[in-house]
Amino acid sequence: MVNRVELRNISKSFGGISALKNVTFKVMPGEIHALVGENGAGKSTLMKILSGAYTKDNGQIFIDDTEVNIKNTHDSKKLGIGIIYQEFSLVPELSVAENVFLNQLGRTGFWMKQGKLQKEAEILINSIGFSINPSSKAGDLSIAQQQIVEISKALSEHVRILILDEPSAVLGPQEIQKLFDTLDRLKKEGVAIIYISHHLSEIFQIADRVTVLKDGTSSESLHVSETDRDSIIRLMLGRSLEAMYPVRNSIIGEEVLRVVDIYQADKVRGVSFGLKAGEIVGIAGLVGSGRTETARAVFAADKREKGKIYLSGKELQIRSPREAVSKGIGMVPEDRKQHGVILSLSIKINISLTDFRGVSYHFGFIKAKKESNNAIELIRKLAIKTENENQEVGYLSGGNQQKVSLAKWLNRNCKVLIIDEPTRGVDVGAKVEIYNLINELSDKGVAIIVISSETAELMGTCDRILVMRKGQIQGELAKNEFSEEDILRMSIGAN
């Protein structure tokens, strides 16, 4: 059987750093091939070489056993290669339809009336199981919807090779299932699919084979049916993982936060809950259930219409995230690219920033030595893969950027810390480090809210879980009542 894609002895360095060393990787038509590895292992770099976004230093690329020369993204498109990048590539000012057909719009001879463009986009989006208004501006969509537009865009041309770089990171369980149905259909049509994910369970669900990248070198490709989770983790980390969720002895104190009957547009409809010092409370629910909006309302990132919030018994009067931070409330947002980190600044400065993006930072008060040491300590604890603390965040791998965004808040002295999707995009080893840090904070008495789409993560880390549905709290479970089934049942509103 011929390979659809063969990457042979590919090497790539950035400056003095070698990201890929003689990597070999083969994918057959009609195969879903998973590519996994730690943050910074080189997965995205390898795929960007195939898509023409980066040029290789050495090595060869074969498509259907013929050597090809991919100099830019145009060359790769001509060869039938479609890619969904880890970072978003939509133009926020353009409509959904314009984004879906962006690649074709510039092409000579391709011209469609707006009406036809929208109709075609709608048909395409529906064909993969979703419905999004094609005339909406891309920038107004939720991140899950943006991802669906990215997928539609990749499928707007006839692809023979489809690369998906962590497509599921921003999707909910139902959306992921629809994506898998689409991949299954494409696989039957003979498309060669390369699927990158940190969720190993997904790999066992859809992939035929899996290849592990470690520090820029590739392992042998394994048949998924002949391997298991522990073996893959060992290849990724070079060691096995004892326990995913560290044991915790919670010492719960006085109530710190009380939220009473808050409303925000039609997204949050009468939410009330309390949170104690040293307590970790999870918020479960489907994408769109109002979890993030509840957090944003507490953090004053959105204006709430009704309700009261008390901090240590005193009514909280804040109108902006900056004021929230000054009162001791922190929030790690789910959409880190937009709100979490500033890509053009160093790790050290990002960690030291005292405020939300775009707000002035008090350089005058930063004690250089202390800040460096702080950053170095967090880089070590979170195993952020970088040369040093002065590296620009934009040059880090996706997962390592996430870690910086988290480190920045772990560095604050907060009374209340809200973390939206704490481990999105990070590898299994780093997840455990993040759970350890969250535990450390709660041991110090910080009251923590964790929002997560991974039910297992909430059950493994929280003292209590609130389940949201349609802007309301549908139910609450204490630690001894946690059950995946009950959480799902409450999330979807079944009895």
Picked from Mg ion, ligand ATP, none, the partner binding residue 396 (CB below 5 to 8 A depending on kind) is: ligand ATP
Closest CA to 174 of 380, 453, 479: 453
Closest CA to 6 of 63, 86, 78: 63
**Distance set, CA 390 to CA 347, 363, 367, 372 (Å):** 6, 15, 15, 9
Decide: 61 and 24 in contact? Cβ < 8 Å: no
Go through 336-356 and write b for each residue having 16 or more CB atoms within 10 A of its CB, e for each that does not. bbebbbbeebbbbbbbbbeeb
For residue 203, the one-letter residue type is I
**Distance set, CA 443 to CA 161, 243, 408 (Å):** 49, 19, 19
Query: Binding mask 343-382 vs Mg ion (x if CB under 5 A, - otherwise)?
Result: ----------------------------------------
Binding site for ligand ATP (CB under 6 A): 14, 17, 19, 37, 39-45, 86, 385, 395-400
Picked from ligand ATP, Mg ion, none, the partner binding residue 76 (CB below 5 to 8 A depending on kind) is: none
Q: Which is nearer to Mg ion, 86 or 350 (CB)?
A: 86
Q: Which is nearer to Mg ion, 52 or 398 (CB)?
A: 398
Closest CA to 36 of 184, 219, 300: 219
Contact flag: residue 425 with Mg ion (CB under 5 A): no
Q: Which is nearer to ligand ATP, 88 or 299 (CB)?
A: 88
For residue 452, the one-letter residue type is S
CB of 386 to ligand ATP, least distance (A): 7
Query: Binding mask 75-104 vs Mg ion (x if CB under 5 A, - otherwise)?
Result: -----------x------------------
Q: Which is nearer to ligand ATP, 122 or 389 (CB)?
A: 389
Q: Which stretch in 3-11, 89-97, 353-361, 397-405 sits in contact with Mg ion by CB under 5 A?
A: 397-405
CB of 199 to ligand ATP, least distance (A): 12
Joined together, the tokens standing for residue 77 give 């498109």
Picked from ligand ATP, Mg ion, none, the partner binding residue 118 (CB below 5 to 8 A depending on kind) is: none
Q: Which is nearer to ligand ATP, 41 or 468 (CB)?
A: 41
Q: Which is nearer to ligand ATP, 87 or 481 (CB)?
A: 87
Rg (CA), the chain: 23
